[in-house]
Structure 1
Amino acid sequence: MAGPWPITEKVGNSYCVQLSASVKVHSIFSSDKLHWDPNKPLSEQVPDSPPPIEVNGELEYDVDEVIAYQMQWTEYDDDPE
Structure 2
Amino acid sequence: TGVSNHCKDEKYPGHNPFSEPESFNIKYLVESLQNRLDAYVSVHSYSQIKTSKAMARRHCEDEGKYVEQRRERPRRMET
Task: State TM-score, norm by structure 1.
Answer: 0.24
Structure with higher Rg: it is 1
Q: Which has the higher helix share?
A: 2
Task: State TM-score, norm by structure 2.
Answer: 0.24
